[in-house]
Amino acid sequence: MFNKVLIANRGEIALRVIRACRELGVASVAVYSDADARAPHVREADEAVPIGPAPSAESYLRGERIIEAAQRTGAEAIHPGYGFLSEREWFARAVRDAGLVFVGPPAEAIAAMGSKTSARQLATSAGVPVVPGTTTAVRDVAEAGEVASSLGYPVLVKASAGGGGKGMRVVAREADLALALEAARREARNAFGDDAVYMEKYITGPRHVEIQVLADQHGTVLSLGERECSIQRRHQKMLEEAPSVAVSPELRRRMGETAVAAARAAGYVNAGTCEFLLDREGQFYFLEMNTRLQVEHPVTELVTGLDLVQWQLRIAAGERLPFRQEDIVPTGWAMECRITSEDPANGFLPSTGRIGYLRIPGGPGVRWDGGIGIGSEVGLHYDPMLAKLIVWAPTRDAAIARMHRALLELTIDGVATSRDFHLRVMEDAEFRRGDIEIQWLERRIESLTRPNPPAGGKVIAAIAAVLLAERDRSTPGGATATRSSSETAAHRGLPHEDAWLRAGRRDGLRSR
Ligand code: MV4
């Protein structure tokens, strides 16, 4: 194993990697921008190196500076986290060329999966099902028209260099094709500096299900099962779970084998994720492969019992995976809510400020992967994700109840956050049935983000009456309730939360 690893990232993921290093007895080196001089990841690491001004283009994206910092501190490997330099082929190559180990896939695998058309070709040649469409870029409107009529409308125009939904246009009929093609090209050129686009049949109402894979340097490639990631807004995931209600053991086995085949075809090593669309008929289609550790990796960790970051480090150090596919059996249910500094009541507008008070949830089955503390300044330089609240429970119903409970415990003062939005999701009947697909959130955004009705005098009196009655009923000694009425009332006075709790009690949530 390495003696020392540099972490080329910030926030919660830098802390996550530091924790894995510490458990493996590996020293950690943080890097930080001027804005992060007092950030938790800097305090927590064994050493820290300043790398530049606040804008990421002048700090966390300065690969050559980060490599220098690794050499100067005697780190043998660099963990890129997610985002920033994690999927830059040139960086993976530069790290290797500097005589260091990149804790991630080979540069060649990043390149092979980076272009969506080359990923489709690779997948197709490995027998992996892809959405019907072209495996090369379309030249012009004439060719696009021919492709579209053979596929049948609606079709989707996608950027070859794309990913994450940029440069993507749904086309419902021939009359709209020329404009959509132009728009997709323009967006692709601006986002990726490459205006090549290709086409696919548009799949309506699918789920987004992804498979985690782990591959060592000795030819073992394993599937760690699926994550359900359909709850997203504008291609930003908000909530993930493992397993998926839509995936049977048989489908899990088939999707897992497919993901392993795609990874093998790319010469993949380390942790990676194959994204699929899963339609209502249970057909699945490979979309793309993410060649990095993902934000939502903890839900897979909780149902498999494996520490993915530790395995990333072990694999990078040349260790063999000591288990076989049949040893990996997901157990129970895990769910993750992304806690962001965005205001759901205000169109998810990014919110800034200083964290004045922070109450982190705890108790059975609760995990907090955070990157903030009291006093942290939340600005606009970086991603708005402050932390991930993750729970595990034996069943999905119990995981939902546990997440709701943990969200009630969470208090973040100083910035607007996505907390209340997540409470609403946990309370939503469709979500609780697992009746979701990729358009679900956008369709339900109104009811999930509507400001709470002002707690007028009557409402407050009603809540107080319920709380007092409940305290008297549920507290053996009478006087001090375990869930203190002041805490709950101070909970920004959301009437719906208590209504839900009461309903939950009636429905026997405790018996799960
Ligand atoms: C699709 C699709 C429907 N049909 N491809 C969005 C981002 C990129 N990863 C691929 N995406 C999609 N590709 C076909 N042929 C729908 C989406 C899509 C989507 C996919 C996953 C998660 C959320 C999504 C939200 C909107 C559209």
Ligand 1 residue neighbourhood (C-beta within 6 Å): 131, 156, 163-165, 200-203, 208, 232, 235, 277, 287-288, 438
pLDDT average, residue stretch 458-477: 67
Phi and psi torsions of 401, nearest 5°: -60, -40
How far apart are the CA of 163 and the centre of ligand 1, in A?
9
- Which tokens belong to 46? 């064994």
pTM: predicted TM-score of the whole model, two decimal places: 0.89
How far apart are the CA of 158 and the centre of ligand 1, in A?
10
DSSP string, 330-372: --SEEEEEEEESEEGGGTTEE--EE--EEE---STTEEEEE--
Pocket test for ligand 1, best of 151, 157, 203, 227 (most atoms within 8 A of CB): 203
Measured torsion, CA atoms of residues 197, 134, 109, 263, in degrees rounded to the nearest 10:
140
* Topology (CATH level 3) of domain 132-201: Dna Ligase; domain 1 (3.30.1490)
Confidence of residue 255 (pLDDT cuts 50, 70, 90): very high
- Which tokens belong to 444? 């339900």
pLDDT at 477 over 50: no
Domain with residues 4-103, CATH architecture: 3-Layer(aba) Sandwich (3.40)
For residue 478, give the DSSP letter: S
* pLDDT of 383: 97
CA-closest residue to ligand 1 atom 11: 165
Domain range list for the chain: 4-103, 132-201, 204-331, 332-448, 457-506
Contact 262, 274 (CB under 8 A): yes
Q: Compute the mean pLDDT over every residue in the chain, rounded to the nearest whole number.
A: 91
The rounded distance, in Å, linking the Cα atoms of 29 and 480 is 47
How far apart are the CA of 125 and the centre of ligand 1, in A?
22
State how beta strands 353-354 and 366-370 pair: unpaired
Pocket test for ligand 1, best of 168, 244, 294, 436 (most atoms within 8 A of CB): 168
pLDDT at 452 over 80: no
Rg, Å, the chain Cα set? 24
Which residues 6+ apart lie within 8 Å of 483 measured at CB?
none
pLDDT at 297 over 50: yes
Among 11-20, 311-320, 453-462, whose mean pLDDT is lowest? 453-462
CA-closest residue to ligand 1 atom 10: 165
pLDDT at 502 over 60: no
Which of 117, 143, 313, 333 shows the shortest CA–CA distance to 226? 333
Contact 301, 325 (CB under 8 A): no
Residue 262, CA atoms < 13 Å, CB-side half-sphere: 36
Q: Check residues 503 and 207 and name the one with the higher pLDDT.
A: 207
For residue 408, give the DSSP letter: H
* pLDDT of 242: 98
* pLDDT of 501: 43
Residue 17 is inside which H or E element, if any? helix 11-24
The rounded distance, in Å, linking the Cα atoms of 186 and 164 is 16
- Same topology, domains 204-331 and 332-448? Answer is yes
pLDDT at 372 over 70: yes
How far apart are the CA of 207 and the centre of ligand 1, in A?
9
CA-closest residue to ligand 1 atom 6: 165
pLDDT average, residue stretch 187-196: 93
Q: How much of the chain exceeds pLDDT 90, in percent?
A: 85
How far apart are the CA of 17 and the centre of ligand 1, in A?
30
pLDDT at 406 over 90: yes
Confidence of residue 174 (pLDDT cuts 50, 70, 90): very high
* pLDDT of 481: 33
Ligand 1 atom index nearest CA of 232: 23
| Tens digit of each residue's pLDDT (9 = 90 or more) over 314-363 | 999 999 999 999 999 999 999 999 999 999 999 999 999 999 999 999 99
Which residues 6+ apart lie within 8 Å of 158 measured at CB?
116, 167, 168, 184, 197, 198, 199, 200
CA-closest residue to ligand 1 atom 16: 203
The rounded distance, in Å, linking the Cα atoms of 441 and 229 is 11
CA-closest residue to ligand 1 atom 15: 202
| Tens digit of each residue's pLDDT (9 = 90 or more) over 380-401 | 999 999 999 999 999 999 999 9
CA-closest residue to ligand 1 atom 7: 165
Which of 31, 38, 33 shows the shortest CA–CA distance to 14? 31
pLDDT at 123 over 90: yes
pLDDT at 471 over 80: no
pLDDT at 456 over 90: no
Residue 273 is inside which H or E element, if any? strand 270-278
Confidence of residue 53 (pLDDT cuts 50, 70, 90): very high
The rounded distance, in Å, linking the Cα atoms of 169 and 190 is 15
CA-closest residue to ligand 1 atom 12: 165
For residue 252, give the DSSP letter: H
* pLDDT of 482: 35
How far apart are the CA of 92 and the centre of ligand 1, in A?
27
Ligand 1 atom index nearest CA of 202: 4
* Topology (CATH level 3) of domain 332-448: D-amino Acid Aminotransferase; Chain A, domain 1 (3.30.470)
How far apart are the CA of 266 and the centre of ligand 1, in A?
22
The rounded distance, in Å, linking the Cα atoms of 228 and 440 is 13
The rounded distance, in Å, linking the Cα atoms of 137 and 184 is 12
* pLDDT of 462: 73
- Cis check for the bond before 243: say yes or no (omega within 30 of 0): yes
The rounded distance, in Å, linking the Cα atoms of 273 and 224 is 10
Q: Among all residues, which ones are annotated catalytic? A: 292
The CATH code for residues 204-331 is: 3.30.470.20
Q: Check residues 436 and 489 and name the one with the higher pLDDT.
A: 436
